[in-house]
Amino acid sequence: MPESLFCSPDGAPVQYWQVALPGPLRQLFTYCIPAGQAVCAGMRVRVPLGRGFRVGVLWAPTQASADWVIKPIESLCDEAPLLEDDLLACMAWAADYYHYPLGDALLAAFPPSLRQGASLRCVALRLSAAGHAALLADSIRGCRQKNLMLQLAAEPQGVAVHALSDAPVSVRRRLSALGLVEEFELTSLPRWPAIQAALGVAPQLNAAQAAAVQAVFATLSKFAVWLLDGVTGSGKTEVYLHLITEVLAAGRQVLVLVPEIALTPQWVTRFSGRLGLRPAVLHSGLSDADRLQAWLAVRSGLAQVVIGTRSAVFQPFADLGLIVVDEEHDASLKQNEGFGYHARDVAIWRARRLNIPIVLGSATPSLESIRNLELGRYQGLRLPERAGGAVLPKIYPLDVRTQRMQGGLSDALLAAIEQHLLAGGQVMLYLNRRGYAPNLLCHACGWVAECPHCDSFVTWHRHAQRLRCHHCGHERAVPTHCPSCSAALSPRGLGTEQLEDVLTALFPGFGIERLDRDALSRVGELDRRLARIHSGAARLIVGTQILVKGHDFPNVSLVGIVDADQALFANDFRGAERFAQQLIQVAGRAGRADRAGVVLVQTHHPAHPGLNQLISQGYGHFARGLLRERAEIGLPPARRAALIRADGASIDAPNQLLAAMADWLGQMPDEQLVIWGPVPAPMARRAGRYRYQLLLLANDRPTLHRALAQLAAWQGSRRPAGIRWSIDVDPLDMA
Ligand code: ADP
Ligand code: ZN
Ligand code: ZN
């Protein structure tokens, strides 16, 4: 309770509070509350704003001058704060660090339904008497309904909704409507390890794994950032599982952050099987109701393990004891638009605040993390060898100059594919371009199908019979003839659909699965495809980067990288780092069990120094070379960066806005600050808007931070109509 008591306009004593409200204004709003009302930071309030009402969060008590007209809040939404101090502090830090409005940042910590004021009950499901009877009579037809009912039958005390990530809401609603399952409010769960049911057998840790586990155990009650640098298949996940078990035994919660696409039911099953509990699984596809259930369960401590994609870092843990960030180099941990936070970095902040360890795992650590290790900010753990006797695959460049190619595959690669298939192995081909062909071209006049809204060509999706832009969502029918000269059109370039067709024709009978975003648009499709691969029904696998993320295919003996050249010559300064990470990760899919693996890299530049260094000396060496280069040129992570983006419907206005910003910053010369631009973005027009960017580089964070704060303050008064602009701190995606 604040000490200061004032009087409201009608003479009653009041207290004044700052309230964080969503919206672009980077300020807090002051309201008054009756003095007798017990309130504290983190409670939601409904307040009048403009002509309507908004839900905001009480931030801090404040003083107010008697001359101000200060409106009272309309109502309090909560009896207790929804966000605890540590999360409030985290949101305040993140809003400040990423220069994002506090009210909007706070919203990221709430499930959407709480922004309207939903009920706060944790709900669980159990089978009703009618449900038991129906199961006994075997009268349930729907396969998903029956599965859920069998699950519930096995757990008579009920299953919390947050732990039912594999059962869609629609199925649950249907069963409730039929009276076959019943909902009840959950107040407690049997604590781990009482619920350990059928625990999978843990392999005996090897020496490197045991050393890693020991090192982290020794600091379990202290903040430390551990970089677990382990080659693909070295058993990093085993290390996480051992650590998690220990933390659960101490009665504390665990957060595991993973890249979006790696979060498959197989992966979750491995976790639950070994931990003996159902983790709360959080990803972007969750319904609002499920998101709320998970949030409540985390807050009450009922959810002991949370596995989630980047936004899970804002969950309101009751007693967090450990954070794991798997594939810490993965760019999907950073949000590029709006609130541009990096989940790894926010997680590190939270771990420091809570004084707990955080483990960052990767076979290809980011340059940022390698540098932090070199600077002594992180501690290193290494797993240099594959676990369980598997060996790392051998990587060979394959010179395709002057070679005969069929559907993008050289004779040498085709021969290797055949050999591995006949020897009983599986073959994986990596091509980071979905669709049938990236261009549709007129050979007579040179016309190429373009996107009307972007500086980009449209991709021909032959199976769907559409032309699609991969940047703005534009799509249209495929023209039968060239619109400019009526000649026939032909595809140019290679996409995964075409590769799939070529392989089906060349290797009939071996079964082929394609893993790319198009193939995964339907729910459950990824799992069906992965199941066919795991069962051996599919022996050939074609895919984009989705397949490199965390999937483990023990029988793959050959990996073919169909086109290394597109990545070798990327124009982003992070191109080489990304290429190396992708190559090593894709290569890591080969030879995971008892089969030795081979990786063939098709290229027109077999002597490319980067490629050869990577192959002969490995990722660590290559990455340290890149770090030295970045330091010489003065690019991140040697310097801190922020990207200011602006876009608008006309070509000049966004450029002028950024030029004015650059001028304005230039008037306060700071030797530590370097300004590059404005320049057109690499994709200068997207979705009909012209895009420019300004890159700010600084030797230290305070300098960069000062410049950004000045910009945010300066722009408040001048915002040219129709122009959007944003600040991206530590940008990863420069497109
Ligand atoms: P990573 O996460 O580093 O890719 P995983 O933890 O998935 O590695 O391990 C790769 C494979 O090796 C898995 O099949 C796992 O069960 C197995 N494995 C891990 N550690 C051991 C060990 N100590 N002994 C035997 N097999 C192991
Ligand atoms: Zn033509
Ligand atoms: Zn487009």
* Structure confidence by residue, pLDDT tens digits, 28-86: 899 989 888 889 898 888 899 888 888 888 999 988 776 778 888 988 888 888 888 89
In a domain, 588, yes or no: yes
Q: Are residues 384 and 395 in the same domain?
A: no
Which region, left, alpha or beta, applies to residue 229 given φ > 0 means left and ψ of -120 to 50 means alpha?
beta
* Distance (Å) from CA 470 to ligand 2 centroid: 24
Pairwise CA distance, residues 158 & 175, whole Å: 15
Structure token pair of residue 601: 């890299």
Q: Which ligand is nearest to the CA of 475?
A: 3
In a domain, 683, yes or no: yes
Residue 521: domain span: 390-437+493-629
* H helices present in 432-547, as ranges: 496-506, 525-534
* Token pair 């057109």: residue: 680
In a domain, 677, yes or no: yes
* Distance (Å) from CA 439 to ligand 3 centroid: 13
Q: CB-based contacts of 372: which residues, under 8 Å, 6+ apart?
A: 225, 227, 378
Q: Are residues 111 and 244 in the same domain?
A: no
Q: Are residues 183 and 219 in the same domain?
A: no
608 burial via Cβ count (<10 Å: 0-12, 13-18, 19+): middle
In a domain, 147, yes or no: yes
In a domain, 537, yes or no: yes
The pocket around ligand 1, CB under 6 angstroms, is made up of: 203-206, 209, 230, 232-238, 387-388, 552
Pairwise CA distance, residues 479 & 372, whole Å: 53
- Which ligand 1 atom is nearest residue 363's CA? 3
Q: Which ligand is nearest to the CA of 441?
A: 2
**pLDDT at position 223, please?**
97
Q: CB-based contacts of 238: which residues, under 8 Å, 6+ apart?
A: 202, 203, 205, 209, 387
Q: Are residues 87 and 143 in the same domain?
A: no
Pairwise CA distance, residues 32 & 61, whole Å: 10
Q: Are residues 158 and 284 in the same domain?
A: no
Residue 164 φ/ψ, nearest 5 degrees: -110, 40
- Closest residue to atom 19 of ligand 1, CA basis: 235
Asked whether residue 383 carries a pLDDT value surpassing 90, the answer given is yes
Domain count of the fold of the chain: 5
* H helices present in 7-111, as ranges: 85-97, 102-107
- 116: confidence class by pLDDT, cuts 50, 70, 90: low
Q: Are residues 154 and 278 in the same domain?
A: no
**pLDDT at position 248, please?**
92
- Which ligand 1 atom is nearest residue 383's CA? 3
Pairwise CA distance, residues 440 & 488, whole Å: 10
Q: Are residues 163 and 218 in the same domain?
A: no
Q: Global pTM?
A: 0.90
Asked whether residue 716 carries a pLDDT value surpassing 70, the answer given is no
Pairwise CA distance, residues 458 & 449, whole Å: 6
Q: Are residues 313 and 221 in the same domain?
A: yes
- Closest residue to atom 4 of ligand 1, CA basis: 233
Q: Are residues 530 and 585 in the same domain?
A: yes
Pairwise CA distance, residues 689 & 654, whole Å: 10
Residues with CB in 5 Å of ion ligand 2: 442, 444-445, 447, 482, 484-485, 487
Residues 449-458: b if buried by 16+ CB within 10 A, e if exposed: bbbebbbbbb
Per-residue pLDDT tens over the stretch 187-239: 665 555 544 544 567 788 999 999 999 999 998 889 999 999 999 889 999 99
Asked whether residue 605 carries a pLDDT value surpassing 60, the answer given is yes
Q: Which one has a higher pLDDT value, 224 or 591?
A: 224
Angle at 604 between CA 601 and CA 610, to 5 degrees: 65
In a domain, 461, yes or no: no
Query: What DSSP letter does each residue of 382-406 carry, written as one string?
Result: EE-S-GGG--PPEEEEEE-TT--EE
Q: Are residues 399 and 527 in the same domain?
A: yes
Q: Are residues 354 and 264 in the same domain?
A: yes
Angle at 671 between CA 670 and CA 674, to 5 degrees: 85
Structure token pair of residue 583: 């190559």
Q: Are residues 415 and 527 in the same domain?
A: yes
* Distance (Å) from CA 542 to ligand 1 centroid: 24
SS3 149: helix
